[in-house]
Amino acid sequence: MKTALPIYYQIKQTIKNWIIKKEFAPGEKVPSEMSLAAKFKVNRVTIHQAFSELIQEGFLISKRGEGTFVTDNENLINSFSLEFSGVMNSLFFHQISKVKTKAVFINRVQPSKLVKSKLELNSEDKEVVEIKRIRVSRDRLFAYTLNYLPLDIGNRITEKELYAKPLLQTLEENLGIQLTETVQVIEATFANQEIAKYLDMPSGLPILFVERIMYGNNHKPVDLFQSFYNGETYRLIVRLKNVKRKSGNTWVQV
């Protein structure tokens, strides 16, 4: 499978997250393009492209003869810490500290043809691990989530870990799986009886559905994630910036 997200974009998002998490302080000089190219094992042109977009978005400032620095606009940085940083980051890293797991159910199940296809399983793979979770935010039901994982991965996940931290963090820190890319779908749908039961709402009401396939280093799917959000408790904030480019001005998500 081809990489779903360009390498420069993945690196750009990584650097942006470093800034948001204050791993680089406002006004601090960041490592050179050459050193970051060595760190990420890519060529300098890739880092330059990532830097260029971060400069356009206002996160980095280039000073001739001095280097590249984090913006000293703390309002910009803090707004990303408190809100969502766009469609991808909002549903990918949604204010983890404010979302808690209320209930976890782990089972081995026979996957549907669709699940097998999305996880790229072989015909001999008869079962997958299914993880159901009910998530709350500020003591309100927030989301009902499903994860489907190949047995060799899912069998190593415990309920205790899922109550303690996000599944993606468990995959990376506890299982040593490096997550490299994702394909994500976001759409509006309606709550069926099962979803309505878990979200404590009448069936048929509109909800937000997110599906994400996570890939590891070998470009093989390691997790199929599906989440259903109560439309009354979910609000998406997207920040756009008018950027001047050679082809003309365009609005970009920042």
Domains of the chain in sequence order: 7-83 (1.10.10.10), 96-230 (3.40.1410.10)
- pLDDT for 5 equals 60
Distance, CA of 115 to CA of 149 (rounded, Å): 10
- pLDDT for 75 equals 74
- Name every residue whose Cβ is closer than 8 Å to that of residue 74 and which is 6 or more positions away in sequence: 26
- pLDDT for 55 equals 93
End-to-end, the C-alpha distance of the chain in Å comes to: 28
- pLDDT for 50 equals 92
- Name every residue whose Cβ is closer than 8 Å to that of residue 100 and which is 6 or more positions away in sequence: 135, 136, 137
Q: Mean pLDDT for each consecutive 10-residue tract of the chain (254 residues)?
A: 64 86 90 93 93 91 93 75 43 55 95 93 93 86 92 95 90 90 84 90 87 88 92 63 68 62
What's this model's pTM, rounded to 2 decimal places? Answer: 0.59
Choose among 88, 228, 223, 229: nearest CA to 147: 223
- pLDDT for 127 equals 96
- pLDDT for 85 equals 40
